Chains A and B, each alone.
Chain A
Amino acid sequence: MTAISCQGISKSYGHYEVLHDISLTIQQGECFSLFGPNGAGKTTLLKILATLQRPSEGRYEILGLDGLKEKETIRANMMFLAHGAYLYDDLDAKENLEFALALRGQTPTDRDMKLALDRVGIGAFAEMKVRNYSAGMKKRLALAKAMLAKPKVLLLDEPFTALDSAGTEIMREYIRERLSENGTVLMSTHDHNKARPITSRAGMLRLGSLKEISLKALKSDDLF
């Protein structure tokens, strides 16, 4: 079954066209990696698919639901891990998890939260305010949020940024787990070496246009 499908997506800011006629289909159980230089439009495309921005042209469907008309249902089945991590500095890790999941209509138990925090390696800091977290710890906490939410579609914007090698492996392990449960992952990344082991298909976004590339091309050091 198709999990993500977009046809003719374009996005302009004033006269500047960031995305041009993007068409893409991703099946359930696939991990699609989106590569491209800075300013290529990767984050913009993810934000459109996350229902945060409207495309200037084109249409898209997530799990067969119209992205412009059925946003609420899409949001209930999707999670977007963005650069900002969506965390409140004055709340601790557990409170952040509880709050974020409550807004999704989920009520994680203390045990579930502890397990998720232990799994991402920050269990010892569960009651520390996020204000005192490093960028990598914030990324791990955002990952714990996704683990508890168990979304059918996971959008990841630069998931390996700020993560050390252990954190990268935890992220990859979680992505593999989602895929094995028929989930779908679309991620943007610069790091083709870290993304390669979990990528099912890949695309290169350059000057707003998307072109699918072979997995073999990911082995090249001069990808960009």
Chain B
Amino acid sequence: MTFFNVIRWIVWKDLVTELRSRETISSMVFFALIVILIFSFSFSMDQQAAREVIAGIIWVAFAFTGIIGLGKSFSAELQNDCIEALQMVPESKGAIYLGKVAANFLFMFIVEILLFPMFVIFFNLDVVEEISWLLLIFLLATVGLSAVGTLFSALTVQIRAREVMLPILLLPLVVPVMIAAVEATKGALNGDPLSMYRQWLELLVVFDVIFSVVSFWMFEFVMDN
């Protein structure tokens, strides 16, 4: 019971502190808006070219905004040495991990939901029929990103150059998730039948399970060392 309570309280704490400070979500949204603007101006003359690469642009924006959020997830715990209090929680550290993953997932998914209409407007996308599949793709890829990103956020938090180290360590690992997300998003945006990009969705599920289980298992070691 305490295990699930710890998860609930970690999510509550992260959401309340974010609602009051608005540091993480505002910086994520700001960064993503700049990415959208730059790409939309780059492709303003050639809408066809934009359609070819829009899935990649979406996931570049989502991945890098996600990294901003993930980086803050544990660096916020350095305030008043709160990370030590988390280390001393008399419960499996897996509960802290799951709480942090849930909070990170929520932040990233909320930002994605806020930003996607911008992509639709700036790149003139027709997504009405495929919106449920797109949301599923966003959800699955964001689970993978937050599962492995939370672990690496904890791993790099005590390093002096953590802002640099987090993307350097994380991005190569999430390449499979990114490729699957881009391919599935491309299929959905093109209006392809599900059977043509179903394998990418299945791949996302497989990576989510692998990343979540391995990260959950490793988190205890990371927090205790």
Contacts and interface: CB of A to CB of B under 8 A. Distances in A.
A104 B86 CA distance: 10
Contacts of B86: 103
Contacts of B20: 90, 129
A90 B85 contact: no
B80 A99 contact: no
Interface stretch (A76-84, A115-123, A195-203, A204-212): A76-84
A17 B224 CA distance: 21
Contacts of A173: none
Interface in A43-68: 47, 50-52, 54
B80 A89 contact: yes
Chain B: interface size category = 20 to 34
Contacts of B225: 54
A86 B79 CA distance: 8
A104 B16 contact: no
Contact of A104 (B21, B82, B84, B89): B89
B80 A52 contact: no
B84 to A, nearest CB: 6
A52 B87 contact: yes
Interface stretch (B1-9, B43-51, B54-62): B1-9
Contacts of A86: 80-82, 84-85
A71 B92 CA distance: 10
Which of A52, A83, A129 lies at the interface centre, i.e. has the most chain B CB atoms within 10 A of its CB? Answer: A52
B82 A84 contact: yes
Contact of B81 (A82, A95, A104): A82
Contact of B89 (A50, A75, A85, A90): A75
B88 A75 contact: yes
A72 interface: yes
Interface in B69-89: 79-82, 84-89
Given A102-B9, A103-B6, 9 more contacts: A50-B88, A73-B90, A80-B88, A84-B81, A86-B80, A86-B84, A100-B85, A105-B5, A138-B80
